[in-house]
Homo-oligomer: A and B are copies of this chain.
């Protein structure tokens, strides 16, 4: 079958790969309906993260179950399902507390940019939609697999809610969907930090009430200006760099909450300024599974349209162009159809 493999930074190829097979009785094999390129895929693409050996790519997926192991009871062949980037048993104490991305049996899921993929711990990982979805819902359902779930977690971790002013650092798909999430969670004011006009527009469509184009010290000052000098109640960090993390912490008022979901790369936090910032800090790999049932409902009922983050759709065979377009910021997010 066809699958996407990164051979080296900048070198992404769609080639013939071995089709997946059931390896454990808890596995499922799904036929991919759509997958996509993640912002985090750009770290190895750009050589910031090492690529030691050819790496099957993709961890965001929706598809139809083809085959399940004998222990799988909650999903059956023919169902349309959504999972996320970590497989989880959804029964351990950590999962039950809502932290499926820290499941004691956690396994990374990969190789979604392909015709088929294997999903471990299928019962705990996959959630079926009420029916086969109409084609126009597929992009939105696909976002629930990662970027929507991650942006949502960022907003929850930042304690976004009624009466709150929420700032979002980062205008990638996760940041834009954190704007949507903050608004859905009832935030009064949502400030998107973005200097790119098309992304500003999308942020506004998703519910941003204010746009701040400045970064760094000036960005912090702009947030303070908008909040009586206090800083935002809630700030979502959706980039993962030192600059964005410090911008997020410094834009938050004492007692406020920073939700960080940008995969951390060069971040180093000094203890003393963090101590005196008096903020709450929470984040990490999003427990997307916690949010999947609610997010599927919101999408199924067409109350949110997160699929708008896909501004490029390509056949799987052109995956390399999806990477290029996102790397060059020509596209916010690329959807791939096998």
**Nearest-Cβ distance from residue A265 to partner chain B, whole angstroms:** 7
Give the CA-CA distance A282 to B281 in the complex, in Å: 6
Contact of A245 among B266, B271, B278 (CB under 8 A): B271
**Stoichiometry, copies per complex:** 2
**Nearest-Cβ distance from residue A38 to partner chain B, whole angstroms:** 15
A85: Cβ under 8 A from any B Cβ: no
Choose, from A4-12, A58-66, A94-102, A296-304, the stretch at the interface: A94-102
Count of A interface residues, CB-CB < 8 Å: 41
A320: Cβ under 8 A from any B Cβ: no
A17: Cβ under 8 A from any B Cβ: no
A18: Cβ under 8 A from any B Cβ: no
Give the CA-CA distance A265 to B270 in the complex, in Å: 9
One digit per residue, 1 when the CB lies within 8 angstroms of any chain B CB and 0 when it does not, for chain A 266-310 equals 111111101111111111110100000000000000000000000
Please name the residue on chain B nearest to A255 by beta carbon. Answer: B99
* Cβ-defined contact, B93 with A228, below 8 A: yes
Q: Which residues of B contact A264 (CB under 8 A)?
A: 271-272, 274-275
* Cβ-defined contact, B277 with A279, below 8 A: no
* Cβ-defined contact, B278 with A101, below 8 A: yes
Given known contacts A275-B260, A281-B280, A284-B278, A102 and B255 CB-to-CB distance under 8 angstroms = yes
**Nearest-Cβ distance from residue A230 to partner chain B, whole angstroms:** 6
A254: Cβ under 8 A from any B Cβ: yes
Please name the residue on chain B nearest to A282 by beta carbon. Answer: B280
Q: Which residues of B contact A245 (CB under 8 A)?
A: 271
Q: List 23 A-B contacts (CB under 8 A).
A: A93-B228, A102-B253, A104-B230, A245-B271, A254-B284, A255-B287, A260-B275, A264-B272, A264-B274, A265-B271, A267-B272, A267-B274, A268-B268, A269-B271, A274-B284, A275-B283, A275-B284, A277-B284, A278-B283, A278-B285, A278-B287, A279-B284, A281-B282
- Interfacial residues, chain A to chain B (CB-CB below 8 A): 93-94, 97-99, 101-102, 104, 228-230, 240, 242, 245, 253-255, 260, 263-272, 274-285, 287
